[in-house]
A = this chain, B = another copy of it.
Amino acid sequence: MSVSNYQFATRVSNLMPNPLREQAKHIQSADDYIKLTYGYPSEQAFPIEKLATLSDKIYREHAVDFMQYGESEGIPRLREQIKERLSQYQNLDVENNDVLITSGSTQGMDLVFKIFVNEGDTVLTEEQTFVGAVNAIKSYGGNAQGLPFDMINGCIDTKVLAQTLAADTAHKIKLLYLIPTFQNPVGTSMSLEKRQEVYAICQQYQVMIYEDDPYGDLIYNNIETIPKIKALDTSGLVIYAGSFSKILAPGSRLGYLLAPKAVFDRLVLVKQVADSFANLYWQYLASQLIDDYDFNEHIDYLRQIYKVKAETMVRALRQYVSQYMTFVEPDGGYFISVKLNHDIDPILFYDALDRYHVGVIPGNIMSAAGQGYERYFRLNFTLPTEEEITVGIERLAQAAATARIKQQTAL
């Protein structure tokens, strides 16, 4: 047997390496490289001093507990705290649903797709969406089908949703995967009316909704908080996914699912198979942080530092790039979505970005179909400093200037 003829399962044969990872390696070695690429939190966002203090405390009080095997559901105290918060602040039903602690929100979607998606099934998504979700769907032999997406209003086309479900007489569509609040890559949110509409349609066609909400707490304007789709869930149709990655630390590898109990029971079984239980050190640490400190205060702090960064990026985009591209002003979250004007050649532009040492995520990578979004790209504003944001956007303009398609001269 030579290395070239391993017979991999068909479900993984469609998975392609992320082209950015390889590219990034040589480009990112430049000293002046500016990363507007991935959804990384700011390094100032980690409450390191507090966590170091709490770490000493849990070493004194729980060392054996977090070194030994743990329950697949997660530690009882953290699950309770999450339920209390979801009930108190989001008005979610924590009686008919239960909380599973996952190894990051990445695992949450992996487990849900595993229990619902047969090979050949379909999951509907926003046309521009989280690439990790698309890959997870594919990894079970499923198809990710993007729905037309109104970026300004952060909402899929509900008419197309209803038509698509009505046409699905073979019931191949198993889930609707949405990021309704501060969407990735757009940063806008679906209105309450649209959420109600989407829920009613899914209720009619009995399709589950996966409400992915890693950014929900990170609001940067004073508009009222929009209820979660899960808050409308009277029929046990919605799986709500939260995460500590964007509001505490991605390294915690802590996310959670709030799921109807029958779904929760299945999730526990595949969680056991996946990795037995989420790392206990961070479960105890996060739980202690919520107990000993005001977690809302920490979130307020994040809102402040990220609001400044978001505004800095919006200001720079207005100042430097308006003749080359347009963008959607975000209400919260981690990202701004940008669209190149028609006189900018996308391939020349991305090549120029590499030369100017700026990283962004091209729209096709974040597209369910992997195409059709050549002119779009995503910018992250949480990781870079304000200075890096301004310089990075200046370079976008410089790169765009070199990528302008020359007007054809009339004969």
Which A residues lie at the B interface, using CB under 8 A? 1-4, 6-12, 15-18, 38, 40-41, 43, 46, 48, 51-52, 55-56, 59, 63-70, 102-104, 106-107, 110, 114-119, 121, 132, 135-136, 139-140, 171, 174, 203, 206, 208, 235-237, 245, 249-253, 260-263, 265-266, 268-270, 272-282
Contact = CB atoms under 8 A, between A and B. Distances in A.
A41 B12 contact: no
A273 B135 contact: yes
A12 to B, nearest CB: 5
Given A15-B269, A17-B269, A106-B274, 6 more contacts: A10-B118, A12-B266, A46-B64, A68-B251, A135-B269, A136-B273
Contacts of A251: 65-70, 279-281
A158 to B, nearest CB: 19
B269 A69 contact: no
B253 A275 contact: yes
A6 B273 contact: no
A52 to B, nearest CB: 5
A194 to B, nearest CB: 21
A64 B52 CA distance: 12
Most buried by B among A11, A16, A119, A208: A11
A253 B279 contact: yes
Contact of A68 (B3, B114, B237, B250): B250
26 contacts: A3-B262, A7-B171, A8-B116, A9-B115, A9-B116, A9-B118, A9-B121, A11-B118, A12-B114, A15-B270, A16-B269, A17-B265, A41-B68, A46-B63, A46-B67, A48-B64, A51-B59, A56-B56, A67-B251, A107-B275, A110-B273, A135-B272, A139-B273, A251-B281, A253-B278, A274-B275
